[in-house]
Amino acid sequence: MEQIITDAQKRMSKSIDALRGELSKIRTGKATPALLEGIKIDYYGTPTPLQQVGNVTVLDAHSLSITPWDKSMVNVIDKAILAAGLGLNPVSDGTNLRIPIPPLTEERRKDMVKMIKKIGEDNKIAIRNIRRDANERLKKSLKDKLISEDDLKEAEEKVQKITNDSISSVEEVLKHKEKELMEV
């Protein structure tokens, strides 16, 4: 019984961590290396994450810098960033790339808030599915006479409390990201 509850708690926690990772890739008008995490570079025929072909640093609140370890990769990195469709335009000086992060328009901010709310709702659905799965496993344990009805009721209450805590954590993460997005 405790194993089922612990498993559900771990899975919900992973779901919240995945949400944080997903939201970190969303541009807020502030420079962060996470904006470039999904970009793959064609490194001599092998798709390689950008972070493995160069050093990505934050210059200031509105610009990033990429220093490739192999200077011949500057143009390849430039093209990959443009092809990623992030709305970023790298500026090359031959050996480094500077990426200015343009400020977001009010309309774009509102669109992004809608997008993060949808991502958050999908995450809440995933958490509820984990709850349903845990409750089904607990009911199967009751059916197999491994636990009593009182144990089942107590365990379901624990699972519900974990679910409520996880959903409120999702709400907090979303609220923080929305505040960050709407900041000018």
In CATH, what number is assigned to the domain containing residue 11? 1.10.132.20
Pair 65, 129 in one domain: no
Give me the domain span that covers residue 160: 2-25+105-182
Q: How far apart are CA 102 and CA 110, in angstroms?
A: 16
Question: Which pLDDT belongs to residue 106?
Answer: 85
76, 39: one domain: yes
| Confidence (pLDDT) at 184 | 62
Of 70, 100, 130, the one marking the end of a domain is 100
> Where among 58, 79, 100 does a domain terminate?
100
Query: Is the same domain home to 126 and 170?
Result: yes
Structure tokens at 66: 């990429």
pLDDT tens per residue, the chain (184 residues)?
A: 889 999 999 999 999 999 998 888 777 777 888 888 888 998 888 899 988 999 999 988 888 999 999 888 899 999 998 888 777 889 998 889 999 988 778 888 888 889 899 999 999 999 999 999 999 999 999 999 888 999 999 999 999 999 999 999 999 999 999 988 887 6
State the pLDDT at residue 173: 94
Q: Please give the DSSP secondary-structure letter assigned to residue 43.
A: E
Backbone angles phi and psi of 92, in degrees to 5: -100, 140
Give the three-class secondary structure for 80. Answer: helix
Angle 77-68-100 (CA atoms, 0-180°, nearest 5)? 60
Domain boundary (67, 100, 133) is at 100
pTM check: above 0.75? no
What distance in Å separates the CA atoms of residue 66 and residue 163, rounded to the nearest whole number? 41
Reference 90, options 72, 103, 76, 104; nearest CA is 76
Predicted pLDDT of residue 180: 84
21 and 109 in a single domain? The answer is yes
In the structure encoding, which two tokens stand for residue 16, read together? 């919240």
- 170 to each of 11, 37, 120, 151, 156, how far by Cα in Å? 14, 22, 7, 29, 21
